[in-house]
Structure 1
């Protein structure tokens, strides 16, 4: 059972508290959608301000237990920079720190080991253009080959190279990664990434010949997304509704 945690709302800035609440919500939504892997994946978010400080999950706490106050604040080297009774996974921030250091726009980095995501990451062709959900992902997708558990600092430049300026990264034989300017954007990007993988696995399991979407449609899909969302990031559109759903299922994340 998770240890009790003192509420830190009055000890941090309003901007940091907002980041904590949204990140805790992203963790609990990940559990609600069934993408968690016990305690072994991570979502990290930058703390607003001039320092390069980040929030990450306390090691050993289940995702549906995480609260805004229990999140651990660390620096780019994974060292705690504020008092916390919790430790972090020493390997957990390797991937995240590489992306945060290289991408100023990646304020939130989300990594999952979802069953469908890992299944597609093990396929030689990777994600296929089989669904509408896949098209937005394919328009901004990179691939990174598996190098074992994320413990090797020397892997970081290769991971950064493979992500480039993209929003989605498929870690082969490992899982999925998304980046966003907010936890909402990273989470909604993961929703479409995971949905595309689930659809692909189910379509393949049917045994029938698959019909890929034509390349010209893929090429024009980014412009179509802008038109449909009227220039608003999908995260901003759906996040309030997701929080209402979370309040019904796993209340208490904002403690």
Structure 2
């Protein structure tokens, strides 16, 4: 068995707001190449947990290990409306000290990989919802090519665009070797995308259940038996629902 390389972990983390305990005894791991979801209802502290993991919120106890710089994509794409697409996605290079010309050249080489060819000089208002999300993914990837934290990145998209982006994300995760931690409140989204799923309990305080395994042979060519997969998926749904609505 190949040893797992941990790229992000959290041990015994607790977070207070004032006197109120919000997150309790949080433990999680993300391995190289994995896509792991944190699933929970609104108000359970998912975004607060992400802020602690990225280091944006340092007022929490416990231990956080970050194996590399983290690219953090918020619920909104946060594209700058006065900048063209190419200048939006080139920002990580500019912030690293590159000239505008060099940054544009480096960013432009990735546009076709992310399905953005021919769109370099459009403004965000001239892009579709899916194109805007892919631009935000690219900018996040260029900031950190190893580790991405995605906070409900598919919110507000129609079902067809969302399905297309699911396929696109899984394909490019494999091609680019990215490790992804995803926040979602959508059970079907978590099952469709994840290798493992952590469920955040109701709170306050909220805590994480031990992870549920979704894909046992991530990246394997053989396809599971459809009937067996349907049964496993339904069992997984039921267990997720039970965990969501159980206070621990």
Please report the TM-score for the alignment, with normalisation by the length of structure 1: 0.31
Q: Report the TM-score when normalising by structure 2.
A: 0.31
Greater fraction of residues in strand:
2
RCO higher in 1 or 2 (8 Å CA, sep ≥ 6)? 2
Looking at secondary structure, tell me which structure has more helix per residue.
Answer: 1
